[in-house]
A = this chain, B = another copy of it.
Amino acid sequence: MTIARAPQQERSRLTRERLLSSCIDVLARDGWAAATVAAVAENAGVSRGAAQHHFPTREALITAALEQMFDELTTSASARPGGLPAPGPDRIRAVVERAVAIYTGTEFKAALQVWAAAASDPTLRELILPMEEKFARAAHRMTVLALDPTGEDERVHRLAQVTLDLARGLGLADTLSDDSARRALVVATWSDQLVEVLGDR
Contact = CB atoms under 8 A, between A and B. Distances in A.
Interface residues of A, number: 45
A115 interface: yes
B161 A185 contact: yes
A169 interface: yes
A177 B112 contact: no
Contact of A161 (B28, B168, B186): B186
Given A125-B176, A190-B162, A30 B115 contact: no
A86 interface: no
Contacts of A112: 115-116, 119, 172
Contacts of A185: 158, 161
Contacts of A121: 31
A37 B11 CA distance: 48
A46 to B, nearest CB: 21
A189 to B, nearest CB: 4
A47 interface: no
A72 B22 CA distance: 38
A167 interface: yes
Contacts of A129: 176-177
A78 interface: no
A91 interface: no
B32 A116 contact: yes
A119 B31 contact: yes
- A-B residue pairs, 5 tightest by C-beta: A169-B169, A168-B169, A116-B116, A165-B169, A31-B120
Interface of A: 28-34, 109, 112-113, 115-121, 125, 128-129, 132, 158-159, 161-162, 164-173, 175-177, 182, 185-186, 189-190, 193, 197
14 contacts: A29-B119, A31-B117, A31-B121, A116-B116, A118-B176, A129-B176, A132-B176, A159-B189, A162-B189, A164-B169, A165-B170, A168-B169, A168-B172, A169-B169
